[in-house]
Amino acid sequence: MITQSCKDNLDMISVNDFRVVDRIPRIMNVLGALSEIEVGEHDDEGVTSPVVSKPRRIIVANQLPIRGHRNEETKGWSFELDKESLVLQLKDGFPANSEVWYVGLLKVDVETKDQEEVARLLFSMFRCVPVFLTDDQKNKYYHGFCKHYLWPLFHYMLPLSPSRGGVRFDRSLWEGYIVANRLFANKVTEILRHHEDSVWVHDYHLMVLPAFLRKRFNRVKLGFFLHSPFPSSEIFMTIPVREEILRSLLNCDLIGFHTFDYARHFLSCCSKMLGIDYQCKRGYIGLDYCGKTISIKILHMGIHMGQLESVLNMEQTATLAKQLKEKFEGKIVMVGVDDLDLLKGISLKFSAMERLLEMRPELIGKVVLVQIANPARSQGKDVQEVQKETTLIAQQINQKYGYEGYQPIVFINGPVSTLEKAAYYAISECCVVNALRDGMNLISYKYTVCRQSSPVLDEALGIDESYPRRSFLIVSEFIGCSPSLSGAHRVNPWDVGAVADAMYVGIHMKDEEKHLRHEKHYKYISSHDVAFWARSFDLDLERACKEHYLKRYYNVGFGLNFRVAAVGTNFRMLTTERVVAAYNNTNSRLILLDYDGTMMPQCAVDKTPRSEVISILNCLCSDPKNVVFIVSGRGRDPLSKWFSPCEKLGISAEHGYFTRWTKNSPWETCLVAMDCDWKKIVQPVMERYTETTDGSFIEPKESALVWHHQDADPDFGSCQAKELLDHLESVLANEPVVVRRGQQIVEVKPQGVSKGIVVENLISTMRSQGKSPDFLFCVGDDRSDEDMFESIARLVDNPSIPPIAEVFACTVGHKPSKAKYYLDDTPEVIKLLQGLATASVGSKNAHTLEDEDV
């Protein structure tokens, strides 16, 4: 049982520590905006509700969409919005009446003495809440764990040695990552109205932030989007803190990815490491986790069309484009724009250009590759090596194939403005994006829009408005935008020859085909812009949170393994005191107990009941007011053997196909005719799947056949189980059997056999004997036990039959159930049964004393 004191201990930081008013005025008092966060009514979590104003989206990202500059003479700060920042562009997709607030780091360092003033200024001007880290915290969090451990690993670069990319896992860097995420959470907490606001967290820098927020606010609307690739399970499983990261992410209501591949890898990790399977329902993917459904979103991010189009309509852009066209007159220009890092494949692109000129010498002097290198986002030896290598390769190729007035590779080491890039895009016949691995990469989108041109550009470049627009894209197979660009020429960037061939195709492709490809891409890019992406994510987050106030929540777990268990409003923990009180006031009791997962832990290898369990059962059975049954899916032989010491215990085996009331009474079979000819059909099919699924096995029963796959690979076992289910349903369509899929099993059994029917038959028999039950206790843990709970609910709601005064239908574990009560685990079940046994002993002793007095 989770007591209130235990719940309090689970909280790493008290909610009230961050909700008190005197923590907020550092930002709020100067603005006179305290009324937005004034004290209101308390909700069921005991947290103060703020006065409702406009709906608000809180965007949390590593960096704020702000550019900052300090005047060295006056020592004053000036700030402006960074219009190219993605998190700023998101607001175009939100409802017009909503406010957007931002939480993140500044791109400039602010001295400690200036931080409070800067925070007030940023909030009053831009609704930005800065997070300030010390140099040591930033080095551990960003340059250490994020950029030199997580980033390479998420891009499939294992840290085999310090010299081969990234650093190995360092506990101190991980702790720095946690500290930084907690500081972000603190800032969000200061401004969050958890009833109305939604929080959207961005990228791998903040993957444990959801755990901190969910612990403080159970019902906060919380979304997360990963902008990098999510690696395959083989890569992700190398992270020593893999489960902490996964469980933290699962505290979100919605988790977004650019491509299905990234989502599939995440789902595979959840299945293999946490045993959580996903389901597809009406076009949505969902993970059932602790009573909640975590939605999975798959949608490419887009670009800001209006912003780029405004750049294209600027006179400066047109002038520069005209100058570039004159500079490269008579030459075919190919363009590439990449960050200067190890995985953008710039050196391989240069090598492909060299191969093109080597194989097609007639192109020397006619084709130019313009490569713009954006500044690297991190520091380190690897960045210096990449810059040195790319510069050296470009020089060698230019020396080999260049001459006066001609360089085959024009290498521009940035920074380069958006205006200049747009001009280069506009005059280029082909764009080459051959990154070795990239989460999304929007260069192809920007190039396509710039090739659509504008009236100002058309006039400058001497292009007629009716002239068909054309473009040609060469994109790597390993970048996120590739699936959305069906007209692009996809290449393996490691295959230098294939990239060179693609360049040749782009140079010689007919204008009509380039036009058709361009139109296809432009139509998609213009309709799936950043506003569409933000709006779609926002709507899905609202949908994912619509049942927040239809459930009750319980905090479970410690640290980053924390999670919130969601249950129905009428679903509550069953206490021993409550059951014992009802038990003592009744005279005809029926106690129904599942075995595996209820009386015996699922993980136990030896399923023989402990002596403690036998003792409890014997004590309960010795009470003449009790009828006690084990209701199990197991066969009658093992159950008879295990419970042979319990002479008065009833057993219902194989989901009720066989039943006996005591050890010495005969086994009774249900009224279903015993015709097992169907086994001759099922056995060969199951054997075939067992042979092809390592770790699976068949459990033969007298009335059923069960195929188990709990020891198989989770993904493959689940896939094979689905196939087996479909296969068996097909071949058994005309047989009197039911094929059902349970917890890591596929079972075939006769129709009309279920634990629910067992409940109905036992109650009917007791009533026919004049012992109509006035106390019913039923406990189980899996899907087959839900049949019992459903039958009990029908009996309770049926006014035509005698009512049962005290009914306790109880499931084991926090999960959606037709039972009204739950117990946490097997020890809790044993504890409750021990309480009932003690009550029986006490009652027996009391009767003995009364008899002696008489």
- What architecture is domain 692-750? 2-Layer Sandwich (3.30)
Contact yes or no for 517/471 (Cβ under 8 A): yes
Tell the CATH superfamily of the 305-528 domain: Glycogen Phosphorylase B; (3.40.50.2000)
Beta strand 198-202 pairing with 221-225: parallel
pLDDT tens track for 497-528? 999 999 999 999 999 999 999 999 999 999 99
Tokens of 617: 């059962």
pLDDT at 25: 34
* Ramachandran assignment for 744, one of left (phi > 0), alpha (psi -120 to 50 degrees), beta (any other): left
Tokens of 646: 């319990």
Beta strand 745-750 pairing with 737-742: antiparallel
Three-state DSSP string of 94-152: CCCCCEEEEEEECCCCCCHHHHHHHHHHHHHHHCEEECCCCHHHHHHHHHHHHHHHHHH
pLDDT band with cut points at 50, 70 and 90 for residue 444 = very high
pLDDT tens track for 201-238? 999 999 999 999 999 999 999 999 999 999 999 999 99
DSSP element (H, E) containing 18: helix 16-19
* Cα gap 241→79, rounded to integer Å: 38
- In this prediction, residues 752-772 reach a mean pLDDT of 91
pLDDT at 673: 58
Residue 40 has pLDDT above 80, yes or no: no
Residue 15 has pLDDT above 90, yes or no: no
CA distances from 754 to 467, 703, 738 (A): 72, 12, 10
pLDDT at 671: 63
pLDDT band with cut points at 50, 70 and 90 for residue 736 = confident
pLDDT at 767: 93
Residue 284 has pLDDT above 50, yes or no: yes
Residue with tokens 């959840």: 270
Strands (E), 608-704: 626-631, 650-653, 658-660, 668-669, 697-700
pTM of the model: 0.81
pLDDT at 258: 97
Identify the bridge partners of residue 201 per DSSP, sorted by sequence position.
60, 224
Q: Counting Cβ atoms within 10 Å, is residue 416 exposed (0-12), middle (13-18) or buried (19+)?
A: middle
* Cα gap 384→614, rounded to integer Å: 71
pLDDT tens track for 137-148? 999 999 999 998
pLDDT at 567: 76
Contact yes or no for 473/509 (Cβ under 8 A): no
pLDDT at 802: 86
pLDDT at 744: 87
* Cα gap 148→145, rounded to integer Å: 6
- Of the two residues 303 and 45, the one the predictor is more confident about is 303
CA distances from 647 to 539, 590, 630, 651, 663 (A): 60, 17, 13, 11, 5
**Residues in contact with 746: Cβ distance below 8 Å, sequence separation at least 6, in sequence order:** 686, 706, 707, 709, 721, 724, 725, 728, 739, 740
pLDDT band with cut points at 50, 70 and 90 for residue 162 = low
* Cα gap 785→778, rounded to integer Å: 9
Residue 5 has pLDDT above 50, yes or no: no
Looking at residue 180, the DSSP 8-state letter turns out to be H
Q: What percent of the chain has pLDDT over 90?
A: 70
CA distances from 332 to 150, 327, 364, 375, 458 (A): 40, 12, 11, 26, 18
**Residues in contact with 799: Cβ distance below 8 Å, sequence separation at least 6, in sequence order:** none
pLDDT at 33: 30
- Of the two residues 314 and 5, the one the predictor is more confident about is 314
**Residues in contact with 794: Cβ distance below 8 Å, sequence separation at least 6, in sequence order:** none
CATH number of 568-672+752-844: 3.40.50.1000
Residues of the chain with CATH 3.30.70.1020: 692-750
Residue 24 has pLDDT above 60, yes or no: no
pLDDT at 36: 32
**Residues in contact with 629: Cβ distance below 8 Å, sequence separation at least 6, in sequence order:** 590, 591, 592, 593, 649, 650, 651, 652, 758, 762
Q: What does the mean pLDDT of the chain come to?
A: 88
CA distances from 215 to 222, 247, 419 (A): 12, 12, 45
pLDDT band with cut points at 50, 70 and 90 for residue 464 = confident
Residues of the chain with CATH 3.40.50.2000: 53-298, 305-528
pLDDT tens track for 830-843? 999 999 999 988 76
Residue 421 has pLDDT above 70, yes or no: yes
Q: In what side-by-side order are the strands of the sheet with 626-631? A: 572-573, 821-823, 806-812, 775-780, 589-593, 626-631, 650-653, 658-660, 668-669
Residue 591 has pLDDT above 90, yes or no: yes
Backbone angles phi, psi at 404, to 5 degrees: -60, 125
Q: First vs last Cα of the chain: how many Å apart? A: 42
pLDDT tens track for 655-674? 999 999 999 999 998 765 56
pLDDT at 180: 98
SS3 339: strand
> 586-595, 596-605, 622-631: which has the minimum mean pLDDT?
596-605
Closest alpha carbon to 732 in 672, 656, 680: 680
pLDDT at 119: 95
Closest alpha carbon to 238 in 146, 175, 168: 168
Q: Counting Cβ atoms within 10 Å, is residue 212 exposed (0-12), middle (13-18) or buried (19+)?
A: buried
pLDDT at 677: 86
Q: In one letter, which amino acid is 397?
A: I
DSSP element (H, E) containing 460: helix 455-461
Helix axes 783-797, 755-768, angle to 10 degrees: 40
Residue 715 has pLDDT above 80, yes or no: yes
Q: In one letter, which amino acid is 112?
A: T
SS3 455: helix
Residue 3 has pLDDT above 50, yes or no: no
CA distances from 407 to 207, 387, 845 (A): 45, 19, 103
* Cα gap 406→36, rounded to integer Å: 64
Q: What is the CA radius of gyration of the chain?
A: 34
pLDDT at 37: 29
- In this prediction, residues 578-600 reach a mean pLDDT of 94
Residue with tokens 């799947």: 689
* Cα gap 796→759, rounded to integer Å: 12
pLDDT at 31: 30
Identify the bridge partners of residue 658 per DSSP, sorted by sequence position.
653, 669
**Residues in contact with 279: Cβ distance below 8 Å, sequence separation at least 6, in sequence order:** 285, 286, 288
pLDDT tens track for 97-110? 899 999 999 999 99
* Cα gap 519→544, rounded to integer Å: 35
Residues of the chain with CATH 3.40.50.1000: 568-672+752-844
Contact yes or no for 239/216 (Cβ under 8 A): no
Tell the CATH superfamily of the 53-298 domain: Glycogen Phosphorylase B; (3.40.50.2000)
**Residues in contact with 62: Cβ distance below 8 Å, sequence separation at least 6, in sequence order:** 104, 105, 142, 146, 202, 203, 205, 206
pLDDT tens track for 634-656? 989 999 999 999 999 999 999 99
Looking at residue 438, the DSSP 8-state letter turns out to be B
* Cα gap 329→370, rounded to integer Å: 14
Contact yes or no for 819/809 (Cβ under 8 A): yes
Tokens of 130: 């800065």
pLDDT at 411: 96
Other CB atoms within 10 Å distance of the CB of residue 535: 16
Looking at residue 284, the DSSP 8-state letter turns out to be E
pLDDT at 309: 94
